[in-house]
Amino acid sequence: MSAAAAGRDPLESTRFEAVIGLEVHVQLLTRTKMFCRCEARFGTEANALTCPVCLGLPGSLPCINRRAVESTVRVGLAFGSEIPLLTKFDRKSYFYPDLPKGYQISQKDDPICKGGRVEFFVDGEIRVARLVRIHLEEDAGKNIHVEGRPESWVDLNRAGTPLMEVVSEPDLRTPREAGDYMRMLRQVMLYLGVSDCNMEEGSLRCDCNVSTRLRGASHLETRTEIKNLNSFLNVEKALEHEIARQIRLRETGREAEIVQETRLYDPDRGETRSMRGKEEAHDYRYFPEPDLAPLVFSPEWIDGLRATLPELPLVRLGRFQEDLGLSAYHADQLVRDKEIADYFERCVESYRQPQSVGNWVLNALREELRSRGVGIEDIGVAPERFAELVRAVDDGAVSTQKARDVLRAMADSGRPAAELIREMGVEQISDDSFLRGVVQDVIAAHPGPVEDVRRGKRNSINFLVGQVMRRTKGQANPAMAMSLIDELIGSPPAE
Amino acid sequence: MEIRDRIRRGEMSALEAVDEALRQLDVVNPRLQAALQIFPDGARTAAAAIDRRLAAGEDAGPLAGVPFTVKDNFCTLEGHTTAGSRILESFASPYDATAVRKLKEAGAVCVAKTNLDEFGMGSSTENSAFHVTRNPWKTTHVPGGSSGGAAALAVSTGGMIHLGSDTGGSIRQPSACCGASGLKPTYGRVSRYGLVAFASSLDQIGPIQSSALDCALVLETIAGADPMDSTSRDLPVPRYADEAQQDIRGLRLGVPAEYFPEGIEAEVEEKVRAAIEVFREMGAEVRDVSLPHTRYANPAYVLVSAAEASSNLARYDGVHYGRRSVSASGLVDMYCRSRGEGFGAEVKRRILIGTFVLSSGYYDAYYLTALRVRNLIRQDFEKVYREVDAVVCPTSPVPAFPLGDRIDDPLKLYAVDVLTVPANLASLPGMSIPCGFTSEALPVGLQIYGRPMQDEIVLRLACAYQARTDHHLRAPPVCGWRGGEEGG
């Protein structure tokens, strides 16, 4: 049984370490395709979203989608890449039925972004992976094979949709790091709004380059490439299996069997398999795309895009901890989803108790979103109203338990918390003199448990609190009830 | 353009103009085989519609009712768009090329598509997959190429517009061979959208007519920025016909020694030098200039154009449209057989050359070197254009040659392009006009190069020359507009 199959880190307690670099393909969220004006979307009848340009018909010519270029520049700026003032496109040639022109328009020597660095967390510790480049290209179509039929079909709806490729340096060392790096990429793309990063639809796909070497060595060994991984889990699992395979070969003196090749990950069998070797490697015959003039950017234009960058997740994380006093865990949870974090901040603006607001957003609110299957923009509860609810809980005006019912009612009706709390009769009773009377009645009615409490049996106090709740139809403030019982019985203070 | 004016004045209907064009095609095409497809029904229907608009007093466009032909590498809604190749023999384009659309929007009527060397690769129109085209001056001779069909029709018929394309001389060299006036505009002046690509950085669309003034009129209509072609230039379109009729006094003309190379035919040199004297007499200033890198132009052109062609022609793979081999088993076999059966020998040769020069390990030595040469050629012209406004020289070192004479020797055939390819490499406007005839009664072409985006200067010189001379007015032995076949 391999280490990976046993779910352990394949690198644990070996003399070896892995060197990993990722090429992540991100489908950009644009209205139209990269080089024509066809709509870029999914789920339509095959070949319905095509035109002479994306069909590669004779005489058709590409025109660059400005929005896609802007998105790529923004991503580069977010990762601190250099944005050269000149960028150009190249043709990458190969024959495949899903590639109607026989070449893909991509970028080779002059990508839109050069360099950069991605900071991300692994187990609460910050790591950095440098970027080689970020470039823009067009996606291919899809070949469709019908079981039992001799012919295949091609759907070109996806052909020509914009694809951004983020290439990292081989700075990652473990499958976990690779996964967390990719999660951070996704987070930033979502913050920038450049991609929906929908992994089921293949909006985020990854090729992993991985080699293994003696721990501490500085040279690079022969690497293999695992192609087309479309989930964080698959990236981590595929890397675990491939690293374990390479280490197994090294430990048994068969390192010569590690050859530069492309491998495919088979999640069902839990292994990577050779797809094609180096000897079959393509010569893509790159050359500058003569149908597109090079793009020349002005520094002012780039600065204009820089001004559109939102606060990025890591910066926000720091601010939530330092300025709002949130724990690292809560800050991280809130920051992960930009919409949630934005909502949280608007709540805090009207009720400056970040801790309890954060708690309520992460728990009750997220649960409500989940059960309704909607996003935060569709829940119908304005942040100011949600903040009022949290304030009501903190003030003891409604119990934690009842507040969740109130939230549901708020989402259903769109009405404010205070109104609903009154109407639903769930106001919490925190009136001292009233509660004191109820507690006195309970003590008089249950001498046995009272005696137990006096003797230090703390369990019995819960029974008494329960009785108070019963007599108040669940509206008594339980914390107040408990302290009143203690006071009136004169029990030893609780630990 | 006489036909346009006659329709405008109501002396002739659009339908009559189209019928006359069809009649002339009926006369000359059996002898010349210049057209690949003729659309009598479609053209007459379109003409009748124009006439209805004119009768209703509507503005039917500046070229209302004027018949036109396009080289068969232009996408048209009419007929097929074959590019002269078996691989596209049955391909019907779902759209019009921008230049075609502009002509139609101006009221012109598409009557035919003209023959060409397959994908524009050739200088004799002998590489057409369908048939050869004959020179109207001497039917045993080639009309030049690759726009041979258009050039042959430009002089043997009248009252039509003809569009060709020029990647290394394919408008100018056949114009020279046929005694036509052909303009390759500045790269980016006319949208290439809908022109079946041969070499994208070199291809340009232009008119081939019997006079330079008609070329100016056509350019006025087809020039301009096109959102569908990002290499088209967004610069104002001058009124070329007006500009072309301005005086040339004081224009400075350069005569490059390198354009009278060894091997140039004596009669060609003689006629061209005589033409240059005519310019001097008309008040132009003539001086000798040097374009030292000229001899490297042709090799650079062969590599750059083949490299781009190998990529541009990759899409003809039998998968999506065009010819698919019926005998194929499996994907790779389908690619190989479809392309093997669909492409002719010259196209295959260029795909092989292009694939080779772009391959890793050879890219720097061939493709990049060719690009560096291209840059030197460009710089040669930039330097010369500091001293002169235009360059005058022969279009081709030789007049039209006999059919079959060069087709089996590619290098001999490529040599015909040596004086025309620099315009494409340097993105310049270039024009060929007839400047005399050899003792065999074959036309000789004078070539005029201008500065980028100064197409009007080229046209002005050509018009001035034609105002003084009558070579462009002579009728060839095969002639439709004289009503007979043995005129001239």
CA A254 to chain centre: 39
Cβ(B472)–Cβ(B432) below 8 Å? no
Instruction: Pick from B85, B230, B308 the residue to mutate for testing the A interface (most A CBs within 10 Å).
Output: B230
- Count the Cβ atoms, other than its own, within 10 Å of residue B164: 34
Quick check: A102 contacting B, CB < 8 Å? yes
* Alpha carbons B475 and B70: distance in angstroms, whole number: 22
pLDDT value at residue A276: 67
The burial class, CB within 10 Å (0-12 / 13-18 / 19+), for A294 is exposed
pLDDT value at residue B358: 97
> Å from A292 to nearest chain B CA?
6
DSSP secondary structure letters along A365-386 = IHHHHHHHT--GGGS---HHHH
Question: What are the catalytic residues of B?
Answer: 71, 146, 170
Asked whether the beta carbons of residue B83 and residue A58 sit closer than 8 angstroms, the reply is yes
* Alpha carbons B298 and B21: distance in angstroms, whole number: 38
Quick check: A281 contacting B, CB < 8 Å? no
Helix (H) and strand (E) counts in chain A: 16, 16
Handedness of CA B276, B281, B282, B286 (dihedral sign): positive
Cβ(B209)–Cβ(B171) below 8 Å? no
Q: Return the structure tokens found at A357.
A: 């607001």
Place of tokens 């020289």: B393
Asked whether the beta carbons of residue B195 and residue A57 sit closer than 8 angstroms, the reply is no
Using DSSP, state whether B103 is helix, strand or coil.
helix
| Core vs surface per residue B201-220: b (16+ CB within 10 A) or e | bbbbbbbbbbbbbbbbbbbb
Give me the residues of A, 59-98, that contact B with CB < 8 A: 59-64, 91, 93, 95, 97
Report which residue type is found at A59: G
pLDDT value at residue A166: 98
Instruction: Pick from A87, A138, A291 the residue to mutate for testing the B interface (most B CBs within 10 Å).
Output: A291
Which chain A residues touch B228 with a CB distance below 8 Å?
A: 61, 63
Per-residue pLDDT tens digits for A87-114: 999 999 999 999 999 999 999 999 999 9
Instruction: Pick from B319, B335, B364 the residue to mutate for testing the A interface (most A CBs within 10 Å).
Output: B319
Phi, psi of A446 (to 5 degrees): -130, 70
The radius of gyration of chain B from alpha carbons, rounded to an integer in Å, stands at 21
pLDDT value at residue A64: 98
Report which residue type is found at A45: E
Residues 6+ apart with CB under 8 A from A49: A38, A39, A40, A41, A157
Pairing of strands B67-71, B109-114: parallel
Between helices A66-78 and A299-306, what is the axis angle to 10°? Answer: 70
A213 strand-pairing partners: A17
Which chain A residues touch B193 with a CB distance below 8 Å?
A: 59-61
* Mean pLDDT by groups of 10 residues along chain B of 488 residues: 92 97 97 98 98 95 97 98 98 98 98 98 98 98 98 97 98 98 98 98 98 98 98 97 97 98 95 98 98 97 98 96 90 95 97 97 96 98 98 98 93 92 98 98 98 98 98 95 51
B209 strand-pairing partners: B181
What is the number of domains present in chain B? 1
- Count the Cβ atoms, other than its own, within 10 Å of residue B283: 12
Instruction: Pick from A32, A285, A289, A296 the residue to mutate for testing the B interface (most B CBs within 10 Å).
Output: A285
- Count the Cβ atoms, other than its own, within 10 Å of residue B132: 20
Q: Is residue B350 part of a domain?
A: no
pLDDT value at residue A371: 92
Asked whether the beta carbons of residue B317 and residue A91 sit closer than 8 angstroms, the reply is no
Which chain B residues touch A64 with a CB distance below 8 Å?
A: 230
Report which DSSP code applies to B139: T
Asked whether the beta carbons of residue A285 and residue B201 sit closer than 8 angstroms, the reply is no
Give the chain A residue whose CA is nearest to the CA of B227: A63
Place of tokens 């590639």: A99
Which is nearest to A16 in space by CA: A275, A266, A258, A227? Answer: A258
Quick check: A47 contacting B, CB < 8 Å? no
> Å from B302 to nearest chain A CA?
16
Residues 6+ apart with CB under 8 A from A309: A74, A77, A78, A192
Q: Is residue B95 part of a domain?
A: yes
pLDDT value at residue B277: 98
Asked whether the beta carbons of residue A95 and residue B314 sit closer than 8 angstroms, the reply is yes
Q: Is residue B139 part of a domain?
A: yes
Asked whether the beta carbons of residue B311 and residue A64 sit closer than 8 angstroms, the reply is no
DSSP secondary structure letters along A415-472 = --HHHHHHHTT-B-B--HHHHHHHHHHHHHH-HHHHHHHHTT-THHHHHHHHHHHHHT
CA A372 to chain centre: 20
Q: Which residue in the set A58, A63, A97 is minimally distant from B93, CB to CB? A: A58
Using DSSP, state whether B314 is helix, strand or coil.
helix
* Alpha carbons B147 and B124: distance in angstroms, whole number: 9
Kindly report the CA angle at A374 between A369 and A376, in degrees rounded to 5? Answer: 70
Helix (H) and strand (E) counts in chain B: 16, 11
Structural domain harbouring B162: 2-293+375-473
Q: Which residue in the set A59, A286, A292 is minimally distant from B194, CB to CB? A: A59
Q: Is residue B244 part of a domain?
A: yes
> Å from A285 to nearest chain B CA?
5
Torsion region of B188: left, alpha or beta (phi above 0 gives left; psi -120 to 50 gives alpha): left
Quick check: A294 contacting B, CB < 8 Å? no
Helix (H) or strand (E) holding A227: strand A224-229
A133 strand-pairing partners: A114, A167
pLDDT value at residue A5: 43
Kindly report the CA angle at A249 between A244 and A252, in degrees rounded to 5? Answer: 120
Task: Name the residue ranges covered by the structural domains of chain A.
Answer: 16-301, 313-424, 432-489
Q: Return the structure tokens found at B78.
A: 């009419």
Cβ(B399)–Cβ(B406) below 8 Å? no
Give the dihedral of Cα atoms A419, A425, A431, A435; nearest 10 deg.
-170
Give the CA distances from residue B49 to residues A364, A395, B5, B40, B110, in Å, rounded to whole numbers and listed in that order: 71, 83, 18, 14, 13
| Core vs surface per residue B395-409: b (16+ CB within 10 A) or e | bbbbbbbebebbbee
Which chain B residues touch A52 with a CB distance below 8 Å?
A: 94-95
Which chain B residues touch A46 with a CB distance below 8 Å?
A: none
Q: Is residue B298 part of a domain?
A: no
Residues 6+ apart with CB under 8 A from B332: none
Quick check: A283 contacting B, CB < 8 Å? yes
Q: Which residue in the set B193, B228, B367 is minimally distant from A287, CB to CB? A: B367
Asked whether the beta carbons of residue B81 and residue A58 sit closer than 8 angstroms, the reply is yes
* Alpha carbons B283 and A131: distance in angstroms, whole number: 64
Give the CA distances from residue A102 to residues A93, A304, B362, B481, in Å, rounded to whole numbers and listed in that order: 6, 37, 21, 46
Give the chain B residue whose CA is nearest to the CA of A91: B311
Residues 6+ apart with CB under 8 A from B365: none
Asked whether the beta carbons of residue A58 and residue B319 sit closer than 8 angstroms, the reply is no
Give me the residues of A, 149-208, that contact B with CB < 8 A: 154
Peptide bond before B146: cis, by omega within 30 degrees of 0? yes
Report which DSSP code applies to A361: I
- Count the Cβ atoms, other than its own, within 10 Å of residue A279: 8
CA B358 to chain centre: 28
The burial class, CB within 10 Å (0-12 / 13-18 / 19+), for A314 is middle
Report which DSSP code applies to A363: I
Place of tokens 């530069």: A260
* Alpha carbons B77 and A453: distance in angstroms, whole number: 96
> Å from B436 to nearest chain A CA?
37
Between helices B40-55 and B14-32, what is the axis angle to 10°? Answer: 160
Q: Return the structure tokens found at B27.
A: 């006369």
Which residue positions in chain A have pLDDT lower than 50? Answer: 1-7, 494-495
Q: Is residue B274 part of a domain?
A: yes
- Count the Cβ atoms, other than its own, within 10 Å of residue B462: 25
CA B91 to chain centre: 22
Asked whether the beta carbons of residue A52 and residue B95 sit closer than 8 angstroms, the reply is yes
Cβ(B414)–Cβ(B306) below 8 Å? no
* Alpha carbons B418 and A169: distance in angstroms, whole number: 48
What is the CATH classification number for the domain harbouring B111?
3.90.1300.10
pLDDT value at residue A281: 64
Which chain A residues touch B355 with a CB distance below 8 Å?
A: 285
* CATH tag, A432-489: 1.10.10.410
Which is nearest to B291 in space by CA: B415, B388, B370? Answer: B388
